Structure 1
Amino acid sequence: MHEEALQTQRLVAREGGTILTPGPLDVTDKDSVRSWTKAAVDAFGGVDIVYANAGAVRSEVIEPQFYEDFASTVRAEPDSARLMVQAAWPHLVRSRGCVVMVSSTSGPSGSPTSPRTAPPARKGAVIALTQQLAAEGGPHGVRVNCVSPVMINTDGSRATLLADDHPMYDIARHVPLGRLGTPEDVMNAAVFLTSEESAYITGTHLVVDGGWSAGLPGATA
């Protein structure tokens, strides 16, 4: 088991919870997703919440970009989210559960500081999928929403989009709240969308961006 999985297991156990790590999962493979979901249902008796947050990026600006890179990036995220929700759907209907997907501030708009064509396409598809599934799930009491963060301060982003030679490296000073988002910021929004406090919210994307989308993209702070 990877060290990250072991650390998560220890954190969950420390809070009195139980975590299942049934092995490798290919979120783009229907059979793999179904087996993984069945393992969870067998262990816990059902599914109450699906948090769909997986993706892969191989993308550049439109002129030099290979179509294969664009297509694989665009397919990976909405496909994986759809497969996961589809596998869990009968159990969500029984539990009147909820789904939280992850989009981005790039989903509803483009960005001159991040000239990549695939991410907005895939993130926009996640928002559209969220709204359609919310419409289908409503009669069953299943709520479907997504969170749309701006740049989040993680190991991965610090090594790529926040590197000194990337156009977005100084994005924090353009965010009205004056800082990058944290994983905890996104987590808190997702927890809200799965709680009873959001019982009348479905089909929306909750923007978690420190006010970024409230101003002009790229404007000097």
Structure 2
Amino acid sequence: MDRLKGKIAIVTGIGSGIGKGCALRFLAEGATVVGCDLDPVAAAATVQEASQRGLSLDSVHPCNLTRPEDVQALVAHTLQRHGGIDILVNAAAWGAFEFIESMDYQSQWKTTLTGEIDVVFLACQAVWPHMQQRGGGAIINFASANAYQALPGSGALAHCAGKGAVLAMTRQLAMEGGPHRIRANTISPALVVTGATQPRLDNEPGFREAVTAKMMIGRLGTPDDIAWCATYLASDEAGWVTAADFRLDGGATAW
């Protein structure tokens, strides 16, 4: 339980889903974790859950990661309280799931690209000089199975574009970070059951069945499935791993 002992991590989107799963797993593995979320109630609930497990989770909330000043404040808080940054997990994201004919340009297309691309860029840029000064670090970004293939019947045009961009951006980050021992990798999940995906699974007829049919393992993903991989990528075990993408998708993209 000490794979991340002594490491300081920023994990975004701790209010639910993958961000919450990563934050709690990292704490259990010995890391010092600073989380953030746009939803202060959800973030506070995760802090409370960590406390009930005997873990101490530091959090900045509310934090709007599309605002450069909020991102800089998150980084400044981490440096002031904990003295450095070793790990960045960009789990927070927002996307609109619509077909092209019904997608609004301003409120859905542009907002999705901001919520899936800009939040990654701003956080990476903010931690970059501090990882350089520290002699290296690990960045974990989230692409998606949708960066590789479309799911029939699912309106996800902006999401596909956003996650495809994150996949490409992270390869470039790995190249630029190499001389500084900054590693950058992506995890590409298929559908994970979270607070964001649960309404679609519950309310769209046939959606759960269509998604599950793609899974060779026959079940949807959980935040813990993703957190275990993120733990490896953040640890010294992955010291020679960069510019890699891990498809955690139950075999969905292998068909």
TM over 0.5: yes
Match of 2:70 in 1: 32
The one of 89, 94, 109 equivalent to 2:133 is 94
Give the superposition deviation at 1:76.
2.0
Q: Normalized against structure 1, the TM-score is what?
A: 0.89
Q: For the pair shown, which has the larger CA radius of gyration, 1 or 2?
A: 1
Match of 2:88 in 1: 50
Instruction: State the identity %.
Output: 31
Match of 1:115 in 2: 155
Match of 2:191 in 1: 151
Distance in structure 2 (CA, Å) of the matches to 1:123 and 1:19:
28
Distance in structure 2 (CA, Å) of the matches to 1:206 and 1:22:
29
2:140 paired with 1:104: no
Q: Normalized against structure 2, the TM-score is what?
A: 0.78
2:134 paired with 1:81: no
Moved over 3 A (4+): 1-4, 10-18
Give the superposition deviation at 1:10.
3.8
The one of 165, 182, 186 equivalent to 2:204 is 165
Distance in structure 1 (CA, Å) of the matches to 2:42 and 2:115:
23
Letter in 1 for 2:90: A
Distance in structure 2 (CA, Å) of the matches to 1:75 and 1:66:
14
Give the superposition deviation at 1:29.
0.7
Give the superposition deviation at 1:158.
1.9
Distance in structure 2 (CA, Å) of the matches to 1:59 and 1:152:
15
Give the superposition deviation at 1:181.
0.5
Mark the CA change 1:62 to 1:200 in structure 2 (over 3 Å): closer, same or farther: same
Whether the 8 Å CA contact 1:114–1:167 is kept in 2: the answer is no
Give the superposition deviation at 1:85.
0.9
Whether the 8 Å CA contact 1:52–1:100 is kept in 2: the answer is yes
User: Alignment length, in residue pairs?
Assistant: 214
Match of 1:61 in 2: 99
Q: What's the secondary structure of 2:212's corresponding residue?
A: helix
Superposition RMSD in Å? 1.9
Whether the 8 Å CA contact 1:113–1:167 is kept in 2: the answer is no
Mark the CA change 1:74 to 1:22 in structure 2 (over 3 Å): closer, same or farther: closer
Give the superposition deviation at 1:15.
5.9
2:225 paired with 1:185: yes
Whether the 8 Å CA contact 2:140–2:187 is kept in 1: the answer is yes
Letter in 2 for 1:112: P
Give the superposition deviation at 1:165.
2.7
What stretches of structure 1 of length at least 5 have no aligned partner?
216-221
2:184 paired with 1:136: no
Give the superposition deviation at 1:40.
0.8
Q: What's the secondary structure of 1:128's corresponding residue?
A: helix
